[in-house]
Every structure is written in C-alpha cells, then in structure tokens.
Amino acid sequence: MIKFITVYSITRHYGGPQEGGWWYDWYVPIETIHIPRRWVKKPNQHRNQIETLKSQMKRKYADEALGNIYHSTGGKAIEAYIEETYREFESKVTPHYE
C-alpha cells in the first residue's frame, strides 16, 4: 500500500576495480511527505493526484540537479518515488563487490 512520496538526490560513486571497475548509485532523501489518507485508501481513484503531487515535488528540487551522474565528470540527479515504506530507497550501507 503506497503511503509516501520521497524526493532523492542521487549521485554515482566508484565501487572498486573488480571486473574492470564498478559503480553504484547513492540515494539521499531530500523531502518525504505522507500521501493523504483518503488517497491511500483508494489509490486507483486518486492515481492522477498522486502522480501530480510526485511531479510537483520533483520540480520543486529540479534546480539542485547538476551535470550527468553517468558521465566521468559526475553530477547529481533528482528523482521522486512513490513508496510503501518510509524512505525505502535511502542508501545506508556502501555496497561491496563479491
């Protein structure tokens, strides 16, 4: 059941030289809001409102995006996600190649 919309700042980081080098994305939450309870109870009926709210939140922080995270010069992307759990995409542990 969807409950939150979170805007994230996403940066790409070098993980290590294994297998020719590998990279990972790091998600830092900027803002999280609760989706209104009446929308959560009937998400199919309120899909347009939820998507509009998600788009508005992403636009609010669009000016913070820099460069291209997939380019060698780096950058920062801004993305908004509809989530079931609070800040479920937040990066908390640096991944390790195995």
What mean pLDDT do residues 30-47 have? Answer: 92
What the block records as the tokens of 86 is 């609070």
Q: What does the domain layout of the chain look like in residue ranges?
A: 4-83
Which of 56 and 70 is assigned the larger pLDDT?
56
d(CA 97, CA 35): 36
User: pLDDT band for position 61 (50/70/90)?
Assistant: very high
SS3 53: helix
Q: Average pLDDT of 41-57? A: 93
Choose among 11, 7, 12, 13: nearest CA to 29.
Answer: 7
pLDDT at residue 20 above 90?
A: no
For position 96, what pLDDT does the model report?
85
